Amino acid sequence: MNFPTQTHAIDFDTAELQRLGFRNRPDAVLPPPSLPELVYQLGRQLQTSLEAERILTLFFQGVQRFLPLSGLVYRHIESDLHLRLGEMSSDSASFHLRHEGKCIGELEFQGAKPFDTRQLSDLESLLVCLVYPLLNALLYRIATQTALRDPLTSTGNRIAMDQGLAREIEISSRHKQPLSLLMLDIDHFKKVNDEYGHHTGDDVLKTVAQSLKAQLRNIDRVFRYGGEEFVVILSNTGATAAELIGERLRQAVRNLEFRELDPALTMTVSLGCSTLLPTETADSLLRRADNALYVAKREGRNRLAMAS
């Protein structure tokens, strides 16, 4: 079903932002705030973080005090950020945000009914508060991602994996949630390098990595563990669900086509899956997944084995 979408493009240049700069006014005492009061409040709040998700959440919560919003969707391709807040609805207004010719994302506001002209004008005024904090957060996010990303596959690197796994284990312990891990290896990858060359091997690695990411939820993360091995961290996921996800990944890779390289070329992966035990360490969780992966390869490859 196609819902009506109002689309607008805003190009924020520096002079205009300065002209529409924030005035120093006292915080509003009684809700809801007036537009100038909310502009001032958001101008202060949004400068307190360099995390794009936090900034967008504060912005959404602030605007909800002034306009009847049910949800917000933000996308920024360069930084691989896709955020949904609140509830989606049948009507929306979309804004393409630009600053000095550079795209800083697409923002979609969700409402229970179409936004009127006054509300759209108010949204444009409020977006002025968001531009500089969001721009700084995106620059910080991209710089951080560069340090934590494998340059070939655009998945996380070993440093990112170590940090992410430690964080997920802490969350799992604190909230009593399950946590599972998949370790997978591309079968007979050395043969690809030997017969087709390393350039083709690189293309295969990138294609497999993209396929893995496409099959996963937003909360899951893929990391290049080394060579042709990848690790997938499955947040809040028990053994049964992890096994299903692993099988989905295996089948997705098996169905990949490499027509531009060689129509006859097919790839498979072997997977090992482990689920966090009480008081278990990251090293132990990885080791059990690696042992399960070894079992999968020993039993014929192109299969998943569960850790004991």
pLDDT in tens, 179-194: 999 999 999 999 999 9
| Distance between CA atoms of residues 229 and 223, nearest Å | 9
What does CATH list as the number for 158-306? 3.30.70.270
Average pLDDT over residues 219-226: 95
Helix, strand or coil, per DSSP, at residue 178: coil
Position of tokens 């079903």? 1
Residue 228 annotated in active site = yes
- Whether this model's pTM surpasses 0.75: no
Residue 64 CB neighbours (<10 A)? 16
Active-site residue, from 100, 228, 243, 280: 228
pLDDT digits (tens, 9 = 90+) for 70-109: 999 999 988 889 999 999 888 899 999 999 989 999 999 9
Instruction: Report pLDDT for 8.
Output: 61
Instruction: Report pLDDT for 306.
Output: 98
Could you please state the CATH topology (level 3) that the domain comprising 5-145 is classified under.
Beta-Lactamase (3.30.450)
Domain ranges of the chain: 5-145, 158-306
Cβ proximity of 53 and 28 under 8 Å:
no
